[in-house]
């Protein structure tokens, strides 16, 4: 179904740690890359579901700064899947009004994948139905260090002084400088840790640790989580009367 007009809804930013591809494959006696390929198919499904459920911002944790520690064959396979996904999904994302951006440190990625990332961002820059952010070579601590270096350089050049440094200024130097903070973080596969994902931005996010592995995560599970989220009382550190 083509979506040709802006979805009118309140801002709802969902961030996801897509965990469990390898576990899904192991349970079926398949190679880990088969699980990652199935996980890529699940991304398509969840992007479509997010549009249907009027999620306005979706951030997916695709590859962390720590994932380089995996075997060379798995890393190369993942990079190949990322390239394949961007090539095959570009037109669909454009037609469905999805604005794509990538967060993370691109310096360690090879030139072909960086070009695909840049092209996809440019192609979809005017879209506004869903803001899809893909965290690729992303680590929360790495992002904070990079932001600190940017601010330090501005101080060094005399563009700002130390009294100008605030939480707002710091946020404006993160990869997510123009995005709302996540309202809800979903991690699949039952693991109960945040894995260095958006630590600054998720200070007051709600968390759900879903038991399903990422390849099994579907629209029905997603909808139930969103329904439950809507019933949560968010306090942001205050005491509500």
pLDDT bucket at 241, cuts 50 / 70 / 90: low
Instruction: Count other C-beta atoms under 10 Å from residue 163's C-beta.
Output: 6
What number is the average pLDDT over the span 50-68? Answer: 97
User: Are the C-beta atoms of 59 and 140 separated by less than 8 Å?
Assistant: no
Mean pLDDT for 148-160 is 98
For the segment 11-21, the average pLDDT, to the nearest whole number, is 97
pLDDT 10s digits, 93-147: 999 999 999 999 999 999 999 999 999 999 999 999 999 999 999 999 999 999 9
Catalytic positions, please? Answer: 19, 67
Q: What pLDDT, on the 0 to 100 scale, is given for residue 232? A: 85
CATH superfamily of 13-139+183-227: Decaprenyl diphosphate synthase-like (3.40.1180.10)
Question: What is each CA distance from 113 to 1, 19, 60, 62, 135, in whole angstroms?
Answer: 29, 22, 17, 14, 14
pLDDT band at 233 (very low <50, low <70, confident <90, very high): confident
pLDDT at residue 78, rounded to an integer? 97
User: What pLDDT score was predicted for residue 183?
Assistant: 97
d(CA 156, CA 204): 32
Give residue 25's pLDDT band: very low, low, confident or very high (50, 70, 90): very high
pLDDT of residue 234: 73
What pLDDT band is residue 33 in, cutting at 50, 70 and 90? very high
Provide the mean pLDDT of the chain: 94
- Domain coordinates in residue numbering, the chain: 13-139+183-227
């Amino acid at each position: 179904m083509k979506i040709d007009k802006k979805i009118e809804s309140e801002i709802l930013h969902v961030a996801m740690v897509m965990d469990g591809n390898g576990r899904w494959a192991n349970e079926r006696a398949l190679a880990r890359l088969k699980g990652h390929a199935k996980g890529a198919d699940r991304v398509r499904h969840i992007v479509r579901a997010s549009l249907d459920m009027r999620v306005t911002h979706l951030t997916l944790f695709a590859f962390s700064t720590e994932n380089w520690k995996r075997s060379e064959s798995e890393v190369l396979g993942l990079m190949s899947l990322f390239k394949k996904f961007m090539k095959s999904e570009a037109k669909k994302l454009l037609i469905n009004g999805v604005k794509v951006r990538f967060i993370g440190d691109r310096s360690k990625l090879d030139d072909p994948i960086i070009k695909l990332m840049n092209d996809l961002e440019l192609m979809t820059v005017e879209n506004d139905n869903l803001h899809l952010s893909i965290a690729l070579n992303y680590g929360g601590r790495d992002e904070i260090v990079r932001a600190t270096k940017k601010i330090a350089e501005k101080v060094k050049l005399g563009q700002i002084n130390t009294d100008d440094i605030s939480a707002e200024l710091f946020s404006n130097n993160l990869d997510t400088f123009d995005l709302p903070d996540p309202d809800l973080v979903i991690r699949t596969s039952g693991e109960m840790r945040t894995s260095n994902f958006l630590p600054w931005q998720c200070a007051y996010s709600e968390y759900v640790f879903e038991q399903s592995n990422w390849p099994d995560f579907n629209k029905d599970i997603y909808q139930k989580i969103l329904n439950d989220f809507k019933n949560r009382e968010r306090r942001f550190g205050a005491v509500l009367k």
